[in-house]
Chain A
Amino acid sequence: MAEIHVLAPLDGTVVDLENVPDEVFAQKMAGDGVAIDPSGQVAVSPVAGDLVKLFPGGHAFGISMHDGVELIVHIGLDTIELKGEGFENIATEGQVVKAGTPIVRFDRATIEHMGKVMLSPVVSSGTGTIVRRASGTVRAGRDVLFVLEV
């Protein structure tokens, strides 16, 4: 058994996934994890791996690690509908990233003005079980958000 420390990809406050008003995330269909109510403006990679998916509109990205570990960061809810408005991609899909590598810049005011909820799920969609998770305030690329046992 190995433990993988998944860092917070966003500055903000940790919210239980069950309290996210989107049933796919709340029911953990996308995977177990937590949500962050973000206070910053840049989303970073939570782990070292391959940035296998970065949506052109910047609202979500996925990192693949060795051994089938997959992490998905979704910035805000239903934000695919904004088609990139309020988001600016910093990284490039396919890039190798470190924990803390900046991926997307976003503007909360613009996103909320368009009527979207800013709660941002961070889920483990591949192998591994979450054994510990943070609560309270977390800092992007610095604090552990949850620990995966694989």
Chain B
Amino acid sequence: MIERIIERRVTLGSKSGLHARPASVFVQNAKGFQGQITLSKDDKTVNAKSILSVLTLGAEQGDQVVLKVSGDDAERAIDRLASLLEEDLG
């Protein structure tokens, strides 16, 4: 069986970018899903369940990031995580 991967491009909403607070909220939510989740910006892709890895993207407000999610709960995960990234998490 081929595992399905869902992908979505999102514009980052947090006004100070993906810094410690929004990254923590995002990763905490990502950890609640079983599948593999990655976040990419430009040509860099990181594990979305590691705060420090997410911080290394250096994503700023308005940047385009790409979420990729696999696993049984992928649809729920991508909806939840994409909407978090679009919000201003402070």
Binding site for B on A (CB under 8 A): 22, 24, 29-31, 52-53, 55, 60, 62, 64, 70, 72, 74, 80-81, 125-126
Contact = CB atoms under 8 A, between A and B. Distances in A.
A70 B51 contact: yes
B60 to A, nearest CB: 11
A97 to B, nearest CB: 14
Interface of B: 16-17, 19-21, 24-25, 28, 50-53, 55-56
B78 to A, nearest CB: 21
Given A24-B24, A24-B25, A52-B56, A30 B51 contact: yes
Give the interface SS of chain A, mostly helix, strand, loop or mixed.
mixed
A72 to B, nearest CB: 6
27 contacts: A24-B24, A24-B25, A29-B24, A29-B25, A30-B20, A30-B21, A30-B51, A52-B52, A52-B53, A53-B55, A53-B56, A60-B19, A60-B20, A60-B55, A62-B55, A64-B52, A70-B51, A70-B52, A72-B20, A72-B51, A72-B55, A74-B20, A80-B16, A80-B20, A81-B16, A125-B51, A125-B52
Contacts of A52: 52-53, 56
Contacts of B21: 22, 24, 30
A53 to B, nearest CB: 5
A74 B16 CA distance: 15
Contacts of B16: 80-81
